[in-house]
Structure 1
């Protein structure tokens, strides 16, 4: 059932919106439901010429894929947070005072969480993936110059977020 006009798509949307909404509500966190449903119908719009005659199962499959992608993203972010908390800062010895060491990890984790997901991604590509500016720019689908600017700004924001912690914690020196 290829959809050729906006009116045809509107008819499909109206006919299946409530079903997709209920499907997602039963499976996703309440805060994510609207985003998932929106992304599902965006995917349907993009593939409107390929929709089957009965688009309801296709829409459920698309919603499921959106939920799986969101879940993978959340798990990657959680794993990255664990990695941040367990990674030693290069050039810095382990803190003699374990309390200060724990405090610095908490400060770093809090600073990381204060960053936008875009800043986290830029920094992660640079620090943990070790990608060159050109390769990271390819991943982010931007120019090398745009990536370099994003990286510089993300570093500044992380430094600002760490500033109070840097001066208060002996485990992180100002040379960070």
Structure 2
């Protein structure tokens, strides 16, 4: 799908902006959403001659990579802040979160690895097919399908003690 004009790019932008925005909102801090979406479409503009026929999975993959870069930068900033605190900074930082003994879906979700969360989110929240999700993650369809199956099992195991694992509607599409 080579894009030859600004009007064609505008059509792609309008068709996929809301989907990319939702994708990023679910994964990024609200203050970073607009920047990440903007960088995603800037990359699409720069590579407009190479976009696939269905650019939606490509846009999600690009947004995901932009998010990962932003997370790496944030981790570096946090590491610097921790080092500063260790060397005479403010000791009032409390990195522990209150724990809720109740095992529910939200708690189980939070216990999943970021990788499992991403695999499930592409399927449940974004409604991507296995092939589209595999494109986002840069793997084969078979590899994605296996990851999805394993992620579902891990979530069910964490969620299982409440007896609701088999009735979680968001996991059966």
Q: Given the two structures, how large is their TM-score scaled by the length of structure 1?
A: 0.48
Q: Given the two structures, how large is their TM-score scaled by the length of structure 2?
A: 0.49
Who wins on radius of gyration, i.e. which is larger?
1
1 or 2 for the larger relative contact order (CA 8 Å, sep ≥6)?
2
